[in-house]
A and B are shown apart, each in its own frame.
Chain A
Amino acid sequence: GNSVTQMEGPVTLSEEAFLTINCTYTATGYPSLFWYVQYPGEGLQLLLKATKADDKGSNKGFEATYRKETTSFHLEKGSVQVSDSAVYFCALSVSTGNQFYFGTGTSLTVIP
């Protein structure tokens, strides 16, 4: 079947620290991969995506590379800010249409 396994949280980092949130997936087909971010009281916002192997998605200093050989799509940022505090979701889409499979989410808190 299709599923996403995400690193358990919560994660607490100091400002300017390096961030990695691990994400691995299982897919019956050839998926597109996404990272979404959810701020308190809001819906999900697309952070970045990749649609084929070895693609690197990037946005606002965040990066993730689609690794087909390890079925992974780890999220990284070199220097986090307090404003990055949110919940991060890894997701895949593989079927006809747009059914997304989400990971459980990783809560990130960045302290000054």
Chain B
Amino acid sequence: KAGVTQTPRYLIKTRGQQVTLSCSPISGHRSVSWYQQTPGQGLQFLFEYFSETQRNKGNFPGRFSGRQFSNSRSEMNVSTLELGDSALYLCASSLGGNRETQYFGPGTRLLVL
């Protein structure tokens, strides 16, 4: 089975712009979660989508949003980018039950200038 794929792998944006990141889960997985990884804050949970509905949400401002499509692919959007949004954004997929193993993609590295 193909693993979790994320596109693009690298992005450079300027402050105030918006960005959309994409994640394709492992075939058959219905849950997609997003995490932000930074040297200072470590890995922080953004949100989880299951069957096109947001099931869990972390403590991030409303500038961070996401959605999931009927084929379980997910997108994450960040509007009005700030310098502090520079990070590695990781997507993870799982079958959809509780407390399951999550399988991570390689991440999208976002640099905001």
Contacts and interface: CB of A to CB of B under 8 A. Distances in A.
Interface of A: 31-32, 34, 36, 41-46, 49, 51, 89, 93-105
9 contacts: A43-B4, A44-B104, A95-B98, A97-B31, A97-B48, A97-B50, A98-B92, A100-B43, A102-B35
Interface residues of B, number: 26
Contacts of B102: 46, 93, 98, 100
A106 to B, nearest CB: 11
Given A44-B104, A105-B42, A100 B98 contact: no
A89 B33 contact: no
Interface of B: 4, 31, 33, 35, 42-43, 45, 48, 50, 55-56, 58, 90, 92, 94, 96, 98-107
B74 to A, nearest CB: 13
Contacts of A94: 99
A55 B106 CA distance: 29
A43 B104 contact: yes
A43 B56 contact: no
Contacts of A101: 45
B31 to A, nearest CB: 5
A102 B42 contact: yes
B80 to A, nearest CB: 25
